[in-house]
Structures are given as structure tokens and as C-alpha cells.
Chain A
Amino acid sequence: MCLGIPAKVIEINGYMAEVEIGGTRREASLQLVPDAKVGDFVLIHTGYAIQKIDEKEAEETLELLKQLGESNGSGE
């Protein structure tokens, strides 16, 4: 019940937006994330965007994960 699914904002009409989730389009409310813009990624929970996804942070986390993975087996 605490699911949050990443979606891309495609179109905004008032406080509602059309978002794309893995290829399918849905309606979502932007009332809790009013500064979301077209092109932003947001997390959708039961029909509401609850936060914008920070792409830079996502990249940094992935980079860190890669480094962690690579530092494996350093002792041969």
C-alpha cells in the first residue's frame, strides 16, 4: 500500500496531469507536487504524485553502487 511508481509527466491540465508509466498513460493529481513540470519524473502513489524524482541523485546513487561493485575482489 506504500507503493510509489516512477512516471513521466506528459501534459498538465490544472492540477491534473497525464503521466506515462512504463509505456501506459494515466491521470494523476499534482496537488501534492505543484511545481512538477512536463518532462519531470514523479513518484505516483494511488493516483497522486507524491514527489519529484531527482535524476541527479539517481545517477549519483548508481555511480556509487557501481564503485561498490567494482571494488569487489580487490584482494584477488
Chain B
Amino acid sequence: MKFVNEFRNPKLVQALIKKVREYSSTPIKLMEVCGTHTVAISKSGLRQVIPNSITLLSGPGCPVCVTSHRDLDRAITLASIPNVIITTFGDMMKVPGSFSSLSKEKASGKDIRVVYSTLDALKIAEENRDKRIIFLGVGFETSAPTVGQAIIEARRRNLKNFFVFSALKTMPLVLKALIDLGEVNFQGYILPGHVSVIIGVKPYQFLSRDYGMPGVIAGFEPLDVLQTILMLVEMIEKGEPEIKIQYKRAVSPEGNLIAQELLKKVFEPSDADWRGIGVIPETGLKIAENYGDFDAERIFKVETPEPVEPKGCRCGEVLRGLIFPYQCGLFAKACTPESPVGPCMVSSEGACAAYYRYNKL
């Protein structure tokens, strides 16, 4: 595939690995924020071949994983409303909530459908005018515009039976929260490439300016990741922190302005509850007043009991970069992708799932 294979060129990968070895003198820790990076790095085998002096920590960038137990319970409860069809990305299905999961609800006869795109959810709404279709909006800035676009489209097509439950979140301020927590000492961020396609560079600039934390917006192929590591090592060794773009073929400094406008129009910033971290102000995307008739939260007021977190699951610590998945006592024992205890093992982008598949010790 064009723009993929070139960035996997094995000879060049070897040369760059050598280069990283030469360059890195002092031990450093870098955090790969994005779940897609976690998987890409594990899958390509890079985790094993980069020098020991460089530690890659996983971060809070798996949308399903950071969805709080309360939000999860509410999403699952929505499925019990009569005459409702729940539409969701597949990753959400098996995540165990306090009392049930979407797949258990589906097995018990609820109408829950996995869609590939919000376009599919709209189609279902159009074909089932007598039903109410709720799309579970889980994701970051990459996905949020596709959810916003669906809402605009629903209004244009006069679809009064389409609703969105928004647990959408935004990235930059959680990166600040992690530094403020001060639990993990890391020296640089590998920043999420596809979130940045939308938001550009500016929202991250406080990291280097106010915190002296360098960051590189990275692509997802092995050569992208290696070049990113080199760029970070260089900034760290020179003591010149900046926010740079490695993934220039897709990320422009200003980002996708049309998508940004759309987000401003359809959503407003709100508090968001992050698993393992707690409530972070202004990191959620609530549906704006003007589009309130599409807001599942306003229309269907679901009450859920106090959430019950899975016992022994350390997913929250994994998401803060505090522990590696294999440091959780349940990893690969009581908790496997077939019978997951926590969301980090369910989502294809969860660090526990990625380590289980590719880096099981």
C-alpha cells in the first residue's frame, strides 16, 4: 500500500535502529500517548529491538479504556430503553461494565449493532424511522468530527430518531494532567498522529513552553516511530524542548480547519471522567445546546447505581504509565482477551491486549 510500505522498508528500519542505539546515551522514558501507537509499536516488534536505555510507556490514548465505568454503565443501560437500537464501534461490545456488557445485553435480545462508521448509524436511523437510534460516541478528536458530521447530517435529513451519547474526549489537557500528577518521570511525549491531523500543533505547545516537555507528532509505521524517537532523543539531550511534527505527510501545523469548525459548532467543552485519572475539566465534548435534540443524555435520562470497578484490575495505572500490563497480577491469568477483566484487555488498542498479543513475557 502506498504511504505504508515505504515506511516499513526493513533495511532502513535496521539502519535506523542502529542509529537510535548510537544516539541514546542516557536512559530515558517516553510515553506513547495513543493506543494506535501502542499497538503499532508492539506489533512491529520495535519494543524488543530499541535499546534498553529507552523505555516506552503506554498512556491514556485508548478511548474505550479511558471511558469511565460510570459512562460505560450508562451506555449499557441505554440499551434497555424500549424501542431503541444501540449503534457502536465494535471495541465497546465486550467491555465489562459494573453489571453487564453490551455483548451480554445483545445476547439477551437487546438490539445492539456494531457499525464501522457513523454513516452506517445514520443509515440504520433512516431505515428504522419507528425506532430510536443511539450512537455511542467514544473517541478522541480523530473520531469526534465524524460524530459531529453525523449530527449535522441528521438535522439536514430531518432524522428525528437519531441520537448520540457522547463520551468523546480531547487529548491535550490529559497530557497536562499526567505531568501534574507527577507520578511518572518521563522525558518526552510521542504525540498521537491522527488526533493531530485534526487539531494541529498549537494545542500541545504549552507542553514544551510551560513544562519543558518535548513532543513529536508521530506516524504509525516503524520508520515513523524510529524517526520520532531520534527526534525526541535529540531534543532531550540538547535540552531544547519543542513540539515537532514527524508525520508531516498527514499533519499540517494548523490541522484540519473544517473539522475544527465543526467541533466548535456541534460540541462544547465539558468535564470528562477518565478511568484511572478522574474528572479533568474541559476534556470532554458535550453536545452543544443548539443540537440538544440529538443529545441522548438530555433526551433519555438514565440513572445508574454507583459503579463497581473490576476487582484487581490495574487498568487505571496502566493508562497513567505507572505499570506495564504484565505487572498486573491478573494479566494473562484471570484476564485474557477471551475473558477480559478490564477494558485495557478488551479494546484492540488497549495496552494489556497489545502486550498479551505481541509482548507476552
Contacts and interface: CB of A to CB of B under 8 A. Distances in A.
Contact of B36 (A2, A32, A51, A65): A2
Nearest to B195: A2
**Contact size range, B:** 35 or more
Contacts of B36: 1-3
A50 B259 contact: yes
A34 B145 CA distance: 14
Contact of A50 (B2, B6, B197): B197
Contacts of B117: 46-48
Contacts of A43: 194, 197, 250
Contact of B120 (A47, A68, A72): A47
B230 interface: yes
B146 A48 contact: yes
A6 B4 contact: yes
Interface in B119-158: 119-120, 138-140, 142-143, 145-146, 149, 153
Contacts of B84: none
A76 interface: no
Given A1-B64, A1-B91, A32-B258, A57 B249 contact: yes
Contacts of B143: 1-2, 45-46
A46 B3 contact: no
A10 B172 CA distance: 35
Interface centre among A4, A62, A69, by most B CB within 10 Å? Answer: A69
B89 A6 contact: no
Contacts of A66: 12
Contacts of B146: 29, 32, 45-48, 50
A48 B16 CA distance: 33
Contacts of B139: 1-2
A29 B11 CA distance: 37
A58 B35 contact: no
Interface in B143-180: 143, 145-146, 149, 153
Given A1-B143, A46-B116, A22 B1 contact: yes
Contacts of A68: 15-16, 19, 227, 230
**Contact size range, A:** 35 or more
Contacts of B197: 4, 43, 50-51
Nearest to B39: A3
Contacts of B153: 31
Contacts of B93: none
Contacts of A47: 116-120, 146
B2 A6 contact: yes
A45 B194 contact: yes
Contact of A69 (B16, B220, B249): B16
Contacts of A29: 119, 146, 149
Contacts of A45: 142-143, 146, 194
Interface string A1-45: 111101010000000000001100001010111100000010101
Enumerate the 5 nearest inter-chain pairs by beta-carbon distance, A residue then B residue, closest first. Answer: A47-B117, A69-B15, A58-B249, A57-B248, A6-B3
Given A33-B258, A68-B230, 17 more contacts: A1-B89, A4-B142, A4-B193, A4-B220, A6-B4, A22-B1, A32-B258, A32-B259, A43-B197, A45-B146, A47-B116, A47-B117, A48-B117, A50-B145, A53-B250, A66-B12, A69-B15
21 contacts: A1-B64, A1-B349, A2-B140, A2-B142, A4-B220, A4-B250, A31-B149, A32-B145, A32-B256, A41-B2, A47-B119, A47-B146, A48-B119, A50-B146, A50-B194, A50-B197, A54-B252, A58-B248, A71-B19, A72-B19, A72-B22
